[in-house]
Amino acid sequence: MEAIILAGGFGTRLRPLTYSVPKPLLPVMNTPMIVGIINSLPPEVDRVVLAVNYMAKAIRDHFAANDIGREVIVVVEDEPLGTGGAVKNCESQIRGKFFVINADVITKLDMVAYLAFHNNCGGIGVLALQEVEDPTRYGMVITDQNNSIQKFVEKPGENEIVTNWINAGTYILEPEVLEFITPEKKVSIEREVFPVILEKGLYGFKYVGLWKDAGTPGSYLDAHALMLEAEVAAGLAKTTHLLGEGTHLDSGVELGENVCIGSGVKIATGCRLSNCVVHDNATIGKDCILDGVVIGDRATIGNGCTLENDVLVEAGATVESGAQLSCGARVRQSKERQEN
C-alpha cells in the first residue's frame, strides 16, 4: 500500500527558515516533520510517495542518506498542481487504495484504526475529520448518522454553521478517485473532486485529539507545545522540555514551559527560554531572553539578546549581541539583517 505525502509547498509563511530547509524537513520534536508522518503510518504501507516541488533535491538527498524502513519514491512537479494534480501526478506509483497526507499537518490520528474504518465502509474514500471551535476558517464537512459525507461548505459564515467537524487533511482513497482528476492540470481535490464523488461513498472518520497545521510561526510553535504537553499527560515526560543529544546548558539557564532544543546546542549561563524551538547546533550567548521564537540550526545568538513574539532566525544566521527583536522579526543568514 502507498501513502502519498503532499510536500510541494514553498513554506513562505515560515521564511526565512524555509530559505535553507524545505518545510517538510523542519523538525518537530527534533524529528523532521515528514519523517514523523511516515513513522505514524500503519505497517500495511510499504511505499511512501513524496509529491515535491520546492527544494526537491534536499528532500531526495535526505531520504537517500536515511533509511526509514520503507521504500521512498520522490515525484517532482515541474510546477505546482494543487492537491488533486499532485495526487494525479503520482498515479503511476499507485497499486491500490492509498493514503494522501498533507506534510505540514501534525496529528496523533490512529492510522491503524483509520485504515480499518475505511475497509469497513467499502466506499471510494474516507476523510479524517477534526472538531474545532471555529469552523469558519476551514472547510466544514456535514455527515449523516452513518458517517457518510453529505456536503462540504468551504469557510462557512457564522449563520451557516451546522457542525464543527472539518476536513483534517488526511485521506484514504481508492484508485477510482484518480479517474476524476484531469492530468497535468492544477486541481484542488478538496474543492473540485470530493464534491463530485459523494454519491460513490465518501465517509468521514471523526477523531478527537492532537491536530495542528504547522504552516505558520505561531502554529509551528503551538504544535510543539501540544506535543510536549501530550507527552507529559501520557506519562512519557515529566516536564514540557525536550533536549537533544549532546546539548549543553550552562549553570543558571532557566527553561520555562514548552521548550524544544535540538542536538549539539550550546546555551550560556543566565539565559531564560520559554515557548521556543531551537534547532541542532545553535549557539546562544549568555543572559539572553527567548520567548516565542524559532532558532535555526547552526544559528548564533550573541550575548544579552532579547527575542520575543514569533521571531524566526534562519539556519546559520547571526544575531549580534544586545539585539532586541520582537513582533515577527526575521533574521536572514546571508544579509545579517532583520526583516519586520
Stretch 69-94: mean pLDDT: 89
Stretch 136-144: mean pLDDT: 86
Residue 209 has which C-alpha cell?
A: 485529539
Q: What is the pLDDT of residue 213?
A: 80
Q: What is the pLDDT of residue 155?
A: 77
Stretch 316-330: mean pLDDT: 92
Domains, the chain, with CATH or none: 2-213 (3.90.550.10), 220-339 (2.160.10.10)
Local structure of 98: helix, strand or coil: strand
Handedness of CA 136, 173, 76, 86 (dihedral sign): negative
Stretch 306-320: mean pLDDT: 94
Gyration radius of the chain over CA positions: 21
Mean of per-residue pLDDT scores for the chain: 90
d(CA 190, CA 208): 21
pLDDT at 337 over 60: no
d(CA 127, CA 116): 13
Handedness of CA 28, 34, 39, 40 (dihedral sign): positive
pLDDT at 224 over 80: yes
pLDDT at 340 over 50: no
Model pLDDT for residues 227-258, shown as the tens digit of each residue: 899 889 888 888 999 999 999 999 999 999 99
Model pLDDT for residues 252-308, shown as the tens digit of each residue: 999 999 999 999 999 999 999 999 999 999 999 999 999 999 999 999 999 999 999
d(CA 28, CA 258): 12
Model pLDDT for residues 150-177, shown as the tens digit of each residue: 988 877 777 778 888 988 889 999 999 9
Q: Which helix (H) or strand (E) holds 99?
A: strand 98-102
- 8 A C-beta contact, residue 109 and residue 128: yes
Model pLDDT for residues 168-221, shown as the tens digit of each residue: 889 999 999 999 998 888 899 988 999 999 989 999 999 887 887 888 898 899
**In this prediction, what percent of the chain has a pLDDT beyond 90?**
65
Q: What is the pLDDT of residue 335?
A: 52
Quickly state the pLDDT bin for 55 (edges 50, 70, 90): confident
Within 8 A by CB and 6+ apart from 47, the residues are 1, 2, 3, 70, 71, 72, 73, 93
